[in-house]
A and B are shown apart, each in its own frame.
Chain A
Amino acid sequence: MSTGATKSIDTGRQPGTPTAASAKARGFVAPPKLRRPRHLGWLVMTLYLIFLLLPIYWLVNMSFKTNVEITNTFSLWPNDPTLRNYRVIFTDPSWYGGYINSITYVVMNTVISIAVALPAAYAFSRYRFLGDKHLFFWLLTNRMAPPAVFALPFFQLYSAFGLIDTHIAVALAHCLFNVPLAVWILEGFMSGVPREIDETAYIDGYSFPRFFVKIFMPLIASGIGVTAFFCFMFSWVELLLARTLTTTAAKPIAAIMTRTVSASGLDWGVLAAAGVLTIIPGALVIWFVRNYIAKGFALGRV
C-alpha cells in the first residue's frame, strides 16, 4: 500500500522540532500549494493558543501578587512574588474544605453515572426494545434542558428526602445531565465492538454478568475512561445546582469563592489563587485522555 509506505517515510524523516517535522512531512505528501497554508496554520494556531492562555496567565499572575500590587500598579508579572494567597487557602478549613466537598461529590457522581449507564448503554447498543428510540431521545433532552428550569423544585425535592447540604444530593442532581451523557458516549464506544464477541462468549458458557465484567468491560476500557473524564468535567464545572442544594457542609469551592469575595470586599489575590487551584485538577486529568477528548465530545461517534 502506497499510503503505508509514504507514512513510514514521513515518520523516518522527522527531525527536531515539531514545526519543522510537520512542515517537511506535509511538503513531501501534499502538493506545493498546501505548503503555504501550513505556515499560515502555525500562525493561526499560535495566535489562538495565545488568546486562550492570556486570561489564564493573567489569573496566575494575579495569584502571586499582593493586593497592594494588584490594585496600585499595573505589571505584566509579579514584581514582588508572594505565596500569601495560597497560604490563606491552605490554612483556612472553610477554603480547602470547599475543594474536598467538590471532589467528593464529583467522584460520587462519576461512580453513580457510570454504574447505571453501563448496562443501559449495552442495552441500547445491542438490542431493540419497546420505545428504545424515544427513551434515548428523552435522555438527550435531559442533557439539553436548562438546569435553571430544574433548580426551582430541586430544593423542595431534596428537602423532602432530607438530603439538603449533603454531597449525595449534588451527586444525584448532576446525574440529570451526566447520566444521559454517559449513556450516549458509552453507547458510541460499545457499538464499535463487534457483536460476534458477545455471541462467542455466550456459546462458551459465560453468564451475562461474568461476560460483561470479564470480557466486555476491558474491551471498552478507554470508553469508560473517557466517560469518567466527561462526568468528572461536567460535574466539576457546574455551579447553579450545586449551589442551590448546599448551604455549608457540602458547599463547593466555586461557591465559596463568590461568597467570600462579596463578604470580605476585594481580596483579589486570594480569589485568583482559588481560581488557579480550581483549574489544576482539570489540567491534570486532560493529559491522560487527550487523544480521546474529541471522540468523547462527539459522543463516541467519530
Chain B
Amino acid sequence: MNFAWMAWTAPTAIFFATIFLILVGMGVWEYARPGGAPRVGILRFETTRGDRLFVSLLGSAFICLAWLGLVGPNLWWALGLSLVYAVLVFRWV
C-alpha cells in the first residue's frame, strides 16, 4: 500500500498525533472518572468534558483562522491564545 499521495509532513503529523493523544487522554480520564462531569456553564446548557473539549478545539481553529486573516502568519501567538481560551472553556463553560 502506497501512502505517498497523502503527502504527510512533520507538522501535520504532529498535529494529528496531538489530537489523537488528547482523545486517548480524554478516554482515560472518562474511564477513571466516569460520567463526564456534566454541569450547566455560561452557555446555559449542560456540557460534559467531551463537549468542552470540542468547544475548545473548534474555537481554537477559528482563533487561528482569525489570527491569520486579521493579524499575520505568526501562529504561535494564536496557539497561546487558544490555550488560554481552552482553559477558560474548561473552567467556565
Residues of A within 8 A of B (CB): 130-131, 133-134, 137, 153, 156-157, 159-161
Contact = CB atoms under 8 A, between A and B. Distances in A.
Contact of A131 (B2, B3, B6, B30): B30
Interface in B14-64: 26-27, 30-31, 48, 50-51, 54
B5 A130 contact: no
A137 B6 CA distance: 26
Given A131-B50, A134-B50, A156 B27 contact: no
23 contacts: A130-B27, A130-B30, A130-B31, A131-B26, A131-B27, A131-B30, A131-B50, A133-B48, A133-B50, A134-B50, A134-B51, A134-B54, A137-B54, A153-B6, A156-B5, A156-B6, A157-B5, A159-B5, A160-B1, A160-B2, A160-B3, A160-B5, A161-B1
Nearest to B23: A131
Contacts of B31: 130
A161 B2 CA distance: 9
Dominant SS among interface residues on chain B: helix
A141 to B, nearest CB: 11
Contacts, number: 23
Nearest to A135: B50
A135 to B, nearest CB: 10
Contacts of B30: 130-131
A137 B31 CA distance: 20
B90 to A, nearest CB: 16
A144 to B, nearest CB: 14
Nearest to A157: B5
A195 B26 CA distance: 30
Contacts of B6: 153, 156
Contacts of B2: 160
Contacts of A160: 1-3, 5
Contacts of A137: 54
Nearest to B1: A160
Contacts of A153: 6
Given A134-B50, A134-B54, 12 more contacts: A130-B27, A130-B30, A130-B31, A131-B26, A131-B50, A137-B54, A153-B6, A156-B6, A157-B5, A160-B3, A160-B5, A161-B1
Identify the 5 closest CB pairs spanning chains A and B, nearest first.
A156-B5, A134-B50, A130-B30, A160-B5, A160-B2
Nearest to A132: B50
Contacts of B3: 160
A157 B6 CA distance: 8
Contacts of B54: 134, 137
